[in-house]
Amino acid sequence: MPLNVEHIEADLAVIGFGKGGKTLAAALGRQGRRVVMIEQSALMYGGTCINIGCVPTKSMVYRAEHLTPGGVYEDAYRSAVAATADLTADLRAVNFAMLDNLDTVTVLTGHARFTDPHTLQVETVGGATVTVVAQSIVIGTGSRPVLPDIPGLSTTPQVMTSTELLSLPELPGLLTVLGGGYVGLEFAAMFARYGSEVTVLEHGPRILGREDADVAACLHDILSSRGVEIVTAAEVTSVTEARQAAWVTFQADRMQHAVEADAVLVALGREPVTDDLGLAEAGVETTGARAIVVDEYLRTSQPHIFAVGDVNGGPQFTYISLDDYRVVLSQLAGDGSRSTASRTAVPYVLFTSPPLARVGLTEAAAVAAGMDILVATLPVAAMATVPRARIVDETAGLMKVVVDAGTDKILGAALLSYDSHEVINTVALAMRHGITATELRDTIYTHPSMTEAFNQLLGALAAPSS
């Protein structure tokens, strides 16, 4: 687009280059629709996942997994950071070209703000102001880490979010992680493997408070055995800088403690990015948690404006954003039948080593709901029918499945095991299509594979102990 263009009429405007928005922009652009993609930073072409989320973290995890536990690998860490930066740069270029090469799509780099329900004013990084008037608008501005109001947290130089920590050029000797949830534990495990001394401070009574206690305890033991110190029931009271290091002060066991850190990772949740978008001018409603209010078709309080991905307050996964694209595409170029109401058995994964993959109900949730269930829980090391785990020398973890005693339908599973991020998709597919535990137990699987664990695991179903 020529730099002197000041006004664009479009069929669709998308704010944010994330998975849902970019896929929709490409799909409608190929159909000949006039599309404008607006991204605030050239470093974010392609969205959070490929630049500061899923791809770089898994790249760093993958390289860490090839290191022998117990060593300090500063050179390997530097190489991993450099390789990861090259990977994300390549993907960023591919994603930009995916849209920029379409004659019907204009990519604007700058900040977008509504001036009315159909009009966006874009202040580009080049200093130009472009007005975009669109029949339909999709908001996909994502989420950002939450920084609680803890003294010193926002002013101490060693404090950082996952974004800054991912690109830290030198391996921190001492890393303190605030938060024992999915992001915090993934980074804790990864940096411990590179050789950092890692301390995790979790406010709750245990890590992974939403998971079953036995699953959380198993992962706790694995991390502890690999050098990660985990402190639960810890209330962080302040962060200060001294001698080019940070000191994190916290209360635990009715006593005050302090831990020194070269880097402090804040992993205490994420919030939707909805400020300074002019949503009031557009008549778009938000929740008290700043998420954009949407219906099951992802329409906002303005029917022609949609919100996809993290910004709508739903599950914060790239694959959910991709499904959001399918829902909106159905509205704009389909029969309008697809909706979020049809989503079931959505899995998620914590990429520790081994990864923890989850889908459906936990045992605790099923018991609390008064359901009549059968449960099977087996340590991977005790599963004779899973030689794959021994072949790759990763026998840590456990596998757990919860089944409805009356219907034999699978209610949920927790797989803390090698390759669980792949195996969990089989469980989720079975749940969506009503495949019973017996059918999954008696199916023929390739050998040696982790999937054949179902032959033994589902043969161990029994009523839970009271």
Active site residue 257: no
End-to-end CA distance of the chain: 67
State the average pLDDT over residues 404-425.
Answer: 98
Do the annotations mark residue 140 as ligand-binding? no
Binning pLDDT at 50, 70 and 90, where does residue 1 land? very low
Q: Which long-range contacts (CB under 8 A, 24 or more apart) does 92-96 make?
A: 92/43, 92/44, 92/45, 92/46, 92/50, 92/51, 93/45, 94/46, 95/17, 95/22, 95/45, 95/46, 95/47, 95/50, 96/45, 96/46
What are the contacts of 323-326 at 24+ separation with CB within 8 A?
A: 324/20, 324/298, 325/19, 325/20, 325/21, 325/23, 325/24, 325/27
Residue 64 has pLDDT above 60, yes or no: yes
Q: Cβ contacts of residue 164 below 8 Å, gap of 6+?
A: none
pLDDT in tens, 115-143: 999 999 999 999 999 999 999 999 999 99
What pLDDT shows up at residue 4? 53
Element (H, E) at 200: strand 197-201
- State if pTM tops 0.85: yes
Amino acid at position 263, single letter:
A
> What is the structure's pLDDT at 385?
85
Tokens coding 5: 């263009």
Q: Is 152 annotated as a binding residue?
A: no
Q: Annotation-wise, does 110 bind a ligand?
A: no
CA atoms within 13 A on the CB side of 322: 6
Which of 344, 285, 341 minimizes the C-alpha distance to 312? Answer: 285
pLDDT band at 69 (very low <50, low <70, confident <90, very high): confident
In whole angstroms, how far apart are CA 319 and each of 193, 295, 349?
28, 19, 12
Q: What is the pLDDT of residues 347-377, one digit of tens each?
A: 999 999 999 999 999 999 999 999 999 999 9
Encoding tokens for residue 405?
A: 């005693």
**Pairwise CA distance, residues 96 & 465, whole Å:** 55
pLDDT of residue 466: 64
Instruction: Give pLDDT, residue 228.
Output: 97
Residue 3 pLDDT class (50, 70, 90 cuts) = very low
- 184 annotated among ligand-binding-site residues: yes
Q: Is 241 annotated as a binding residue?
A: no
- Dist CA 181 CA 161 (whole Å): 14
Going by C-alpha positions, the residue among 181, 174, 284, 265 that lies closest to residue 228 is 174
Q: What is the DSSP letter of 286?
A: B
Name 266's bridge partners: 178
pLDDT greater at residue 1 or residue 416: 416
* Residue 202 annotated in ligand binding: yes
pLDDT tens per residue, range 223-281: 999 999 999 999 999 999 988 899 999 999 999 999 999 999 999 999 999 999 999 99
Using a pLDDT cut of 70, give the percent of the chain over it: 99
Q: Indicate the residue type of 336.
A: G
Flag whether 181 is marked binding. yes
355 to each of 219, 349, 381, how far by Cα in Å? 9, 7, 15
Residue 286: count other Cβ atoms within 10 Å of its Cβ: 21
- In whole angstroms, give the CA distance from residue 275 to residue 279: 8
What was the pLDDT predicted at 465? 79
Active-site residue identified among 7, 203, 433, 447: 447
According to the annotation, is 227 in a ligand binding site? no
* Cα–Cα distance, 27 to 23 (Å, whole number): 6
Instruction: Please give the domain boundaries of the chain with CATH numbers for all domains.
Output: 7-144+271-342 (3.50.50.60), 159-268 (3.50.50.60), 348-460 (3.30.390.30)
**pLDDT of 391 above 70:** yes
Our measurement of the distance from residue 454's CA atom to the centroid of its chain's CA atoms, rounded to an integer in Å, reads 27
Is 143 part of any known ligand binding site? Answer: yes
